[in-house]
Amino acid sequence: MNTFAEFEKDLGYEFHDKELLKLAFTHTTYVFEHKGHHYESNQRLEFIGDAVLDLVIGRKLYELAPKADEGYLSKTRSLIVCERSLASVARKLKVGDHLLLGRGETMYGGSDKDSTLADVVESVVAAIFFDSGFEEAERVILSILGETIEDAVKGNIFLDYKSKLLELAQNKGEQHNVVFEIIGEEGPAHDKVFEAQVMADGIVLSRASGKSKKDAEQNCAKIAIEEYKKLFGNKK
């Protein structure tokens, strides 16, 4: 039986209404497989959670950057609440261990899809909002996304790490040849894991894995950016 106790502990919030929490983890494929209705999935919660996240993160950025214009605030908020960022938080909270999915979705790796994980984070935020109100939802959001907010404000978050690394390597006056390679893959056809490495001037900067070749390269590039700066200096 899924009690969600471990999740609540990691989240730092205990639900009064456990059914509300269960709803936040209920995927449409699970509902349809059990001949339920669309409103018995987490989609409606996701709609509210998206709005609550936007308000909380927007207000926090407004406070942290009192002289920033609307363009900066909007772009930075988008980085913080993007699918990739929310999925990363979801993995730290082990959301995939508690997901209620249909058999087919489970078979094809649904419990580790960025889109599915991000949707659950939004749904959980809405569930907290309905369970205890805005202030408690805000507290939890700022707790689980605190590091992400800090990185975004410092300019350390990029939607495309691979492009950022290549941009660094083409700095005027000192250019370096950066090459990405897929060096391995494992697992069945429906659930493969790819391993990538990236080199600069023949020196391996990092290796990382992902559910797709693109994800593996992005994860690899994210690590490689810091290694590149250590090796060649942060010239840009």
Q: What would the DSSP string read from start to end of 147-212?
A: HHHHHHHHT---S-HHHHHHHHHT-TT----EEEEEEEEES-GGG-EEEEEEEETTEEEEEEEESS
Check 105, 114, 122, 217 and give the catalytic one: 122
Task: Confirm whether 40 is a catalytic residue.
Answer: no
Check 50, 114, 131, 195 and give the catalytic one: 50
Angle between helices 43-64 and 114-132 (to 10 degrees): 80
CA separation (Å) from 202 to 162, 171, 193?
A: 17, 18, 25
Task: Confirm whether 50 is a catalytic residue.
Answer: yes
Eight-state DSSP code of residue 102: -
**Residues recognised as catalytic:** 50, 122
